[in-house]
Amino acid sequence: MKIYQANIVTPDKVIENGTIEIENDKIVSMTEGLPDTTRNEDINAEKKWVLPGLVDSHSDAIELELEPRPNSIFPVEVSFYELEKKLVGEGITTIYHSMSLMEENAKKWTRKNDIVLQMIAAIKQLSYGTHLIRHKTHLRYEITNTVAVKSVEKLMKDGNIDQLSFMDHTPGQGQFRDIELHKRFLIEHRHLTDEEANRTIEESKLFAKLDPKILQELAGLADRLNIPLASHDDDTIEKLEVVKSWNASISEFPIELEVAKKAKEAGLYVVMGAPNVLLGKSHSNNVSALKAIQHGAVDILCSDYYPSSLLHAAFKLYHADMPIFEAVNMVSIHPAKALKIDHEVGSIEVGKKADLLIVSEEKKRPVLQTVIVGGKVVCQMNYQTPVTAGILP
């Protein structure tokens, strides 16, 4: 198959009016100009953008798919396949499903120890079956969850974890350093009373944390098994020093601009949320992703809680005068490198998997039209043009 008359976005330039040739599941050639011949299976991109498939390093979307409302719990197989139809329609061709191993008494069903362990194993197993996109697992391990150490070790040794991150959501530091903001979150999103929110915060402050030696051992195991390790909500330079001692390679959602800068200087891949870019601010009153990007302190954007945000954030940056290949790199090759899968996916290059998007624009809004994964068209958006206002042909 060939894709021709395409504006091909590579890691360092745009090839205008180019042609990509695909054999089996890989890109075998990429040239400027039109092909000598075409066949019915070939695609005329009509001078639209052709981008690499998006790589999402951190997405909580599976949690909402499993439990869209409290106590409305859907089977993992149904949730998995229904979610991937949504993800492919957003241009995400490689997803890291983030499951949070919080504690036995976690308020959310999807974050209880036994449930998370089951879900991680089930997602990994389903990823080997028929699918539209590439599925990976990201275990987010809360360091106050002192009873789950052996389970985390087993998940890693069994090959069920593709990315590991350490989290600490203790009030008064990290994401919840602003106690009043955290309290408001508990009241508005968990529907707690003022008294219940205060009690939850005080109880959380008393949670025991894993011995640093145990964290170091888990980090060492991840390193030996070649599992990328991330920190989460870094808020001090001192915390970054601990992160580096783990041989971690990723700093997710640094709280302050100076911390993001130092993480970048330390050689860590810095991840921030694409929703933060679209909204122009952090929902937790942390550093603005746009500000951090302006200071060159961000490598990767992830969808976090809103899968639609990845493609839109890249185009927002492009229309704010960032070269399009640099904006696209933040949602493709950079996360692929951080997660050690860039030898296969993440960019349009000869020899890599043919995971491609054909995207047009409407008033600066990206319009995804075709998604190709492994050389096969897996999603086609055929937009209809009204003949008259409000009436479709």
Residue with structure tokens 């692929």?
Answer: 336
> Taking the CB of residue 330, how many other CB atoms lie within 10 A of it?
25
What are the Cα distances from residue 214, in Å, to 28, 126, 150, 209, 252?
46, 31, 11, 10, 21
Residue 376 sits in the same domain as residue 324: no
In this structure, what CATH number is given to the domain that contains residue 21?
2.30.40.10
Q: Is residue 157 one of the residues assigned to a domain?
A: yes
How many domains, the chain? 2
56 vs 50, 96, 210, 236, 271, CA distance in Å?
A: 18, 6, 29, 26, 11
Q: At 139, which helix (H) or strand (E)? A: strand 134-142
Residues 257 and 138 in one domain: yes
On whether residue 235 sits in a domain, the answer given is yes
pLDDT at residue 385 is higher than 90:
no
Residue 128 lies in a domain: yes
What is the structure's pLDDT at 304? 95
Q: Which amino acid is at 241?
A: E
With respect to residue 197, please indicate whether it lies within any of the assigned structural domains.
no
Beta bridge partners of 43: 3
Please tell me whether residues 47 and 61 are part of one structural domain: no
56: closest CA among 190, 211, 252? 252
Q: Which residue has 């601990």 as its token pair?
A: 242
Q: Please, what is the angle between helix 149-157 and helix 212-224, to 10°?
A: 10
pLDDT of residue 235: 87
What's the pLDDT tens digit per position in 314-334? Answer: 999 999 999 999 999 999 999
Together in a domain, 84 and 220: yes
* 323 in the same domain as 368: no
Q: Are residues 244 and 374 in the same domain?
A: no
Mean pLDDT on 284-293: 88
- The verdict on 250 and 283 lying in the same domain is yes
pLDDT surpassing 60 at residue 206: no
Q: What is the pLDDT of residue 133?
A: 98
Which CATH number fits the domain that encloses residue 326?
A: 3.20.20.140
In sign, the C-alpha dihedral spanning 18, 302, 285, 63 is: positive
When the pLDDT of each residue in the chain is averaged and rounded to a whole number, the result is: 90
Asked if the structure places residue 32 within a domain, the reply is yes
For 17, the token pair is 């009016």
Angle subtended at Cα 205 by Cα 200 and Cα 207, rounded to the nearest 5 degrees: 95
Residue 393: band (very low, low, confident or very high) from pLDDT cuts 50, 70, 90 = low
> Does 30 share its domain with 59?
no
- Which among 169, 167, 173 has a CA at the least distance from the CA of 98? 167
Same domain for 214 and 82?
yes
Is 201 inside a domain boundary? no
Q: Taken in order 317, 318, 323, 328, is the CA torsion positive or negative?
A: positive
| pLDDT value at residue 14 | 98
pLDDT at 189 over 70: no
- Residue 310 falls inside a structural domain: yes
CA within 13 Å, CB half, 43: 23
Position 123 scores a pLDDT of: 94
Q: For position 389, what pLDDT does the model report?
A: 55
Q: Is the pLDDT of residue 12 over 60?
A: yes
Cα dihedral angle (276, 324, 385, 279), rounded to 10 degrees?
Answer: 10
pLDDT in tens, 63-122: 999 999 888 889 999 999 999 999 999 999 999 999 999 875 456 778 888 889 999 999
Same domain, 256 and 376: no
Q: What is the pLDDT of residues 208-246, one digit of tens each?
A: 688 999 999 999 999 999 999 999 989 899 999 999 999
% of the chain at pLDDT higher than 70? 88
Task: Answer yes or no: is 388 within a domain.
Answer: no
Residues 306 and 367 in one domain: no
Range of the domain at 19: 2-51+350-380
* Phi then psi dihedrals of residue 300, to 5 deg: -135, 140
Residues 70, 44 share a domain: no
Average pLDDT over every residue of 35-51 = 95
